[in-house]
């Protein structure tokens, strides 16, 4: 499964398209998944897109990504980005590269969003480009060995 990319999404991202569109845009998570599937096909990759409002699911899916031999994980941990030592530790515990993704630029927002436990462990971060952040992260993942 070296051509598989996991795309994991955290809390409240199931509400994309209706949740604060001035910050997160009008695209739904399904819209983003469709964009990723199209671009993945062009790159000869497959994507597995998942969302959960529960931290433990994200931890389990990070472990699964390694067990399945995924090439990389794109992770938008949403609010867990700024609070989850568990996600930080899970990323550090696996060999699969994790790319942190954000629709908005956390550094242009509230101060509490400036610290990223995910980013401290991730291979890299792409943020601030709306739905295109995911596509840019997928293209970066495609270039990983």
Catalytic residues: 24, 102
Helix (H) or strand (E) holding 4: strand 4-9
Tell me which residue of 16, 87, 26 sits closest to 49, measured CA to CA: 16
DSSP-assigned states of every residue in 22-65: HHH-S--HHHHHHHHHHHHHHHT-EEEEEE-S-HHHHHHHHHHH
Contact 33, 47 (CB under 8 A): yes
Helix (H) or strand (E) holding 126: strand 124-127
- Pairing mode, strands 98-102 and 46-51: unpaired
Count other C-beta atoms under 10 Å from residue 97's C-beta.
19
């Amino acid at each position: 499964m070296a051509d598989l990319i996991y795309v994991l999404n955290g809390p409240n991202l199931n509400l994309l398209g209706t949740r604060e569109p001035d910050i997160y845009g009008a695209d739904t998570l399904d819209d983003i998944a469709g964009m990723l599937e199209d671009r993945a096909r062009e790159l000869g990759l497959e994507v597995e897109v998942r969302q959960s409002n529960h931290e433990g699911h994200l931890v389990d899916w990070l472990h699964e990504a390694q067990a399945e031999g995924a090439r990389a994980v794109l992770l938008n941990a949403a609010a867990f980005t700024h609070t989850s030592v568990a996600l930080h530790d899970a990323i550090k515990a696996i060999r699969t590269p994790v790319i942190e993704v954000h629709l908005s630029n956390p550094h242009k927002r509230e101060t509490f969003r400036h610290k990223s436990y995910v980013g401290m462990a991730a291979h890299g971060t792409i943020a601030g480009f709306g739905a295109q952040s995911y596509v840019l992260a997928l293209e970066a993942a495609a270039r990983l060995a």
